[in-house]
Chains A and B, each alone.
Chain A
Amino acid sequence: MSSVTGVSATDELPGPDGRPPLSGDAASTGRVGDRIFGGAATLSGVVVIVLVSLIAVFLIVQAIPALADNSANFFTSREWAPGGDNPRFGILEFLWTTVTASTLAMLISVPVGVGVALFITQYAPAWMRRPAAALVDLLAAVPSIVYGLWGLITFSPFFKPVQGFMEDKLGWFPLFAPTGISGGTIFFIGIVLAIMVLPIVTALSREVFDQTPLAHKEGALALGATKWEMIRTAVLPFGRPGVISASMLALGRALGETIAVTFLVSALADGSPWTWSLFNGGETFASKIANNAAEFSNPSKTGAYIAAGLVLFVLTFVVNSIARVVIERRKAFTE
């Protein structure tokens, strides 16, 4: 199973006799076929690394001149007025909106997705498993514009009273303070993103849960574990690295999701006051860039947007590295 973190549950599995899997050139026989295939695989690997590096270089090179001209603090300013004689721009608002909406999406989609995956693999009757799994895979392939349309036309009217209720009862808490904005709030976008990435979390988690060795499940059951205890002692620990990979893939999609978010967000007027509220509007990195693609009129202006894109790039990178570390720390315990 591929993943954005490059880690999967089966990565480190030793062979049947307990040896580590053959890696590097150890298995090569030096024959022509081996050398051709080995060369082709190496080339593909190198191409990926070079591409990612070039993208990073491109972003940095294009962003630096604009950043040098910037007279506002890039990280702490909420202004966005790139280009012109005195460009002032900062990413604080986009960072806040992107991170909170995506975090909210994860908080909803990971537990629900794991639950759905457990249902399909452990609880659903046998006749239902394959169709349910196929359905989830299908949902994962639905283009995001469809989720955007659905969110705007169908879900938004349902959410308005919910938001009203929450503002009414929980408005004393800064995150839920009323702002007068309804529709494309951070909270609403978080929910739409959650629904959008839910099939990804579910599909990948289902895949790993399904691979839990019967021996481990029986081991737990034979100790007198109930079904839930068996899942807790055998299935969940086995699937943990896979669930983390799935979440990262989903988070990557949520952070960078453009079209559905562009469709839904309520952009804030310039100079509107700062608030911690999730019921505020605001642009994400991706939606801001997409909404203003027509404005890339001069290098300085374009550079500002590319700098914002660079932050998104680094953000995804950092998130994936953290996931990698989390998985690595428990590696000795994943067989």
Chain B
Amino acid sequence: MAKRIDVTDLNVYYGSFKAVEGVSMTVEPRSVTAFIGPSGCGKSTFLRTLNRMHEVIPGGRVEGKVMLDDQDLYAPSMDPVTVRRTIGMVFQRPNPFPTMSIYDNVAAGLRLNGVKNKKTLDGIVESSLKGANLWTEVKDRLNKPGAGLSGGQQQRLCIARAIAVQPQVLLMDEPCSALDPISTLAIEDLINELKSEFTIVIVTHNMQQAARVSDRTAFFNLKATGEPGRLIEIDDTTRIFNNPSEQSTEDYISGRFG
């Protein structure tokens, strides 16, 4: 179920603006990899290239190579729709579909894949909501609108929606930045449980969060505004936070800038 991601020499452009330069890294299956770094360093942009969501933004394109096990995500024959069905994404602000019920939100991805059987849908909706630690809170109101839930619940609903289609990889773009500490804790616990099944990549502004949830941490930085962001280093989380190889990483971790 979980797959490895291999990135080689990736540049990301928006039009003629080079947003990210020369990133190479490996993301291990069944692990949590955290991206940290100051605002504008390209970590979210880079995350989006892992399921080709950057193409949604006009002018977004990449150079370089991203491999999911032995599949080239940017091969000419590769359909971005297929990529996104394999690599799910959770966004900064919870974005359940406002016109859909809780049930329909979770079932949305499955229905896009052509699953129509009511029993199959019921089963997967239940297991996904359980997988997102939301089932007990919503099982009596599956037909109520998803937008009626609290922010934290909405975000877990979005995670349930993403894992319902059984992706190989789950990308999370600052999933807790719009949430209160209790809801954040619930999501972090969930990430810990999900990593036994999925490869997880999480962008976070919160260094403690990276330290708490991740196995590996990647530090991104940029020389100056207008310059492309770069990957400074990626290593085991304990090492990044205790004994990083780069001076700028240590400066950032210790709060000297950023």
Contact = CB atoms under 8 A, between A and B. Distances in A.
Interface of A: 126, 213, 215-226, 229, 233-234, 237-238, 240, 330, 332-335
Contacts of A126: 58
B37 interface: no
B98 A223 contact: no
A233 B97 contact: yes
Given A224-B84, A224-B112, A219 B98 contact: no
A222 B99 contact: no
Interface in B49-105: 51, 53, 56, 58, 81-82, 84-85, 88-89, 91, 93, 95-101
Nearest to B164: A223
Contacts of B81: 224-226
Contacts of B100: 233, 237, 333
Contacts of B56: 217-218, 221
Most buried by B among A217, A222, A330, A334: A222
Contacts of B145: 332-333
A225 B112 contact: yes
B108 interface: yes
Contacts of A233: 97, 100, 108, 112
Contacts of A335: 98, 147
B27 interface: no
B97 A222 contact: no
A219 B99 contact: no
The bracket for how many chain B residues form the interface is 20 to 34
Given A221-B84, A330-B99, A335-B147, A215 B91 contact: yes
A222 B165 contact: no
A163 B240 CA distance: 78
B238 to A, nearest CB: 31
Contact of A223 (B58, B99, B147, B162): B162
A216 B162 contact: no
B225 interface: no
Contacts of B156: none
Nearest to A126: B58
Contacts of A213: 95
B148 interface: yes
Given A126-B58, A224-B113, A333-B98, A219 B148 contact: no
Contacts of A219: 91, 95-97, 158, 161
A334 B158 CA distance: 18
A229 B112 CA distance: 7
B131 interface: no
B22 interface: no
Interface of A is mostly: helix
8 contacts: A215-B93, A223-B85, A223-B109, A225-B81, A234-B97, A332-B148, A333-B147, A334-B98
Contacts of B162: 222-223
Contacts, number: 78
Nearest to B96: A219
Nearest to B88: A222
Contacts of A222: 51, 53, 84, 88-89, 91, 162
Given A237-B98, A332-B148, A333-B101, 5 more contacts: A218-B56, A218-B91, A224-B81, A334-B98, A335-B98
Nearest to A330: B99
Contacts of A229: 112
B108 A223 contact: yes
A221 B88 CA distance: 10
B160 to A, nearest CB: 12
B99 A334 contact: yes
Contacts of B165: 223-224
Nearest to A18: B151
Contacts of B53: 218, 221-222
A289 B148 CA distance: 51
Contacts of A220: 97, 108
Q: Indicate the member of B53, B99, B144, B158 with the most A CB atoms within 10 Å.
A: B99
Nearest to A213: B95
B167 to A, nearest CB: 9
Contacts of B93: 215
Contact of B95 (A216, A333, A334): A216
B99 to A, nearest CB: 4
B232 to A, nearest CB: 27
B95 to A, nearest CB: 4
Contacts of B112: 223-225, 229, 233
B168 to A, nearest CB: 12
A40 to B, nearest CB: 34
A105 to B, nearest CB: 28
A238 to B, nearest CB: 7
Contacts of A333: 98-101, 145, 147
B27 to A, nearest CB: 18
A277 to B, nearest CB: 40
A223 B95 contact: no
Contacts of B95: 213, 215-216, 218-219
Contacts of B99: 237-238, 240, 330, 333-334
Contacts of B113: 224
B128 to A, nearest CB: 12
Contacts of A240: 99
